[in-house]
Amino acid sequence: MSKFEKFVNSLENACDKAAKKTAEVTDIAATKIKLKAEESRLCDRYEELGRASEGLIRGMDEIPEQIASALDEIDKVMARIKELEGEIEQKKEKN
């Protein structure tokens, strides 16, 4: 076998190894993307549950401290969102 043939053979082997490794990495990346999508779906379901439950919880006579604290934080965040939305409107009106 000539030096050129050895070189070509070596290059083919390297390309095969690179292609296999690329396929492995791509497969792992695709699975990670699927995992993130499922985790996002789970977060969405928790959000739906929370939104559906909020009215019921606020109507309770006694609210456990941990839940009351979470509701207070929700109120604070919602107030901040409204504040920021107002700032955006003011800035739009200026421009």
Per-residue pLDDT, 82: 95
- Mark the ranges of the chain whose per-residue pLDDT is less than 70: none
Per-residue pLDDT, 88: 94
How many Å apart are CA 71 and CA 64, to the nearest integer? 11
For the entire predicted model, the pTM comes to 0.57
State how far the alpha carbon of 33 is from the alpha carbons of 22, 42, 79, in Å.
16, 14, 34
Per-residue pLDDT, 10: 81
**Residue type at 15?**
C
